[in-house]
Structure 1
Amino acid sequence: MSYRVIALDLDGTLLTPTKTILPESLEALARAQQAGVKVLIVTGRHHCAIHPFYQALQLDTPAICCNGTYLYDYQAKKVLAADPLQENQAQQVLTMLEEEHIHGLLYADDAMFYQTATGHVTRTLNWAASLPEAQRPLFVQVPDLQQAARDAQAIWKFALSHPDTRALQQFARRTEAELGLACEWSWHDQVDIAQAGNSKGKRLAQWVESQGFSMQEVLAFGDNYNDLSMLEQVGLGVAMGNADDAIKARAAEVTGTNLEPGIAEIIRREVL
């Protein structure tokens, strides 16, 4: 099979645990681009938290952000396509979060908003502080997330983290049942809430078709449950060795962990 597109999740996949890209991956992806292959980031992240990796890869493609909620053009600095949450939906989520005493991050417009500095927020802020100023994501602490939601032009998603995974699971089930929203796991202790119907696979398929390609011409890499929608639709979906066994079982192939050069090895074999 001749692959024309390489789709890459970031955290747990292309990125090491210290949020770096292996030199082998950088080299293989650069060679693939030189050969005319399109390289696309497909992530749960906000577009403001992708800059260092987008620049390291020297991409010219848009990025699929917030688990497929929107497609962002870095060259024009604008959203190309999106299915955001409505304000009333966001307010309902925030009311439920307050009832359950669960903290959440609000991803909207060009920033991420938080009210309480949880461990997840603190870790992300520390990472951001290590970057050059021009590459730092915009984190904004607000006194009231409900007001932030009212002020937002576009609400992309909520990212919830909690030390009690069972509490998160129950909250996700309640959100799906009562509000009809999509809940996808992007980490073992993080669930993302977005508009129903949004997924990495759906947005990827839309972009691929807009470029005149088919999903069978896509090679994709991922490690978590929010990656399954793309891993199961493409020509070759590859799960990382650090993924849960349930993810590995549903991928066409499994490679090494995100600390090993498995991505580069498969690109060399399948593309170069």
Structure 2
Amino acid sequence: MKYKLIVSDMDGTLLGDNHKITEENKIALSKALEKGVKIVPASGRIYNSAREHFDFLDINTPLIACNGAIIKETKTNKLIYKNNIPNDICLKIIDIFEKNEVYYQLYSENTMMCKNLSKEDQRQTKERLKNFFNDDINVHFGDDLKEEVIKHKILKIIAIDDYDMDKLKKVKEDLDQIEDIEITSSWFNNVEIMHKGVNKGEALKALINYLGIDKDEVIAFGDNYNDLPMLELAGIGVVMGNANDEVKEKGDYITAKNTEDGVAKAIYKFLKI
């Protein structure tokens, strides 16, 4: 078997529009596992949220979470890699978000901290989170998240605005003045920030060194900008059919959409199973 590792994004890639792994993708991953291929999720989600989707495989596998800020094994919880954002930088980022009056969230290893400006904001946020997280995920709501920076090691910070792209553009311009951070996006409506040097590509480098696998033996799947470093590093970077044209141009192969079992179809093609 030429390929020894499959590393895949989750939302917009492995998961369908119902935020669950499609049945055909489950079958394809199980068949790849039977052939001795390692399966590793690489998500922007917090660790626990990403891990719950892979219980069906019943394996101990490394999991890349928070856009590459942490790698842990799913059964043993063994920490392989972690790179959090220093507290002083977190506070600068929060100041920019507060100045621009943009909604934001902080991610630690197992907790999401949400900025809410009103009771209605909190109600809407809770409804939205039901689509992404189970009841075991720690979610903290608060008006002053600076206090949470002191209590937690923050791995990722995200700003979200569904309607005002100019506001997000201004936020990005302000963030560009801060050194030692990585800025990316996993959807049209967000800006995601990690510590300098943190991205899915760097996490994949750390992982293949840990596993003793060559990058040419890796198939990576993704659909958005935060997946590009990983897609470009892998032997084959497979881009989903639902990705935008700019992301598609960076891939080695374009598969079907996430709602059309694009991951499974590419696995069958390249692993010949």
* Equivalent pair of 2:239/2:248 in contact (CA under 8 Å): yes
* Equivalent pair of 2:51/2:63 in contact (CA under 8 Å): no
Letter in 1 for 2:216: Q
C-alpha RMSD of the superposition: 1.8
CA distance in 1, matches of 2:111, 2:14: 23
CA distance in 1, matches of 2:160, 2:63: 24
* 2:237 counterpart residue number: 237
* 1:173 counterpart residue number: 173
How far residue 109 of structure 1 moved from its aligned partner, in angstroms, is: 3.7
Where in structure 2 are there 5+ consecutive unaligned residues?
A: none
How far residue 210 of structure 1 moved from its aligned partner, in angstroms, is: 1.5
Seen in structure 2, the aligned counterparts of structure 1 residues 172 and 123 have a Cα distance that, compared at 3 Å, is farther
* 2:74 counterpart residue number: 74
* Equivalent pair of 1:48/1:138 in contact (CA under 8 Å): no
Residues 83-141 of structure 1: CA deviation (Å, up to 9, x unaligned): 11011111111111111111210102420011314698345422257x4x4xx322111
Q: Which moved more, 1:66-75 or 1:86-95?
A: 66-75
* 2:25 counterpart residue number: 25
* 2:6 counterpart residue number: 6
* 1:125 counterpart residue number: 129
Residues 199-234 of structure 1: CA deviation (Å, up to 9, x unaligned): 101111111122111110001110000000011111
* Equivalent pair of 1:46/1:65 in contact (CA under 8 Å): yes
* 1:265 counterpart residue number: 265
Residues 226-264 of structure 1: CA deviation (Å, up to 9, x unaligned): 000011111110110100000001100101111112211
Question: After the TM superposition, which parts of structure 1 deviate over 4 Å for at least 4 consecutive aligned residues?
Answer: none
CA distance in 1, matches of 2:141, 2:201: 32
Residues 28-83 of structure 1: CA deviation (Å, up to 9, x unaligned): 10011111100000111101212331213434211111111111222223532111
Determine helix, strand or coil for the equivalent of 1:238. strand
Seen in structure 2, the aligned counterparts of structure 1 residues 205 and 194 have a Cα distance that, compared at 3 Å, is same
* 2:251 counterpart residue number: 251
TM-score when scaled to structure 1? 0.92
Aligned length: 267
CA distance in 2, matches of 1:13, 1:54: 14
Identity %: 28
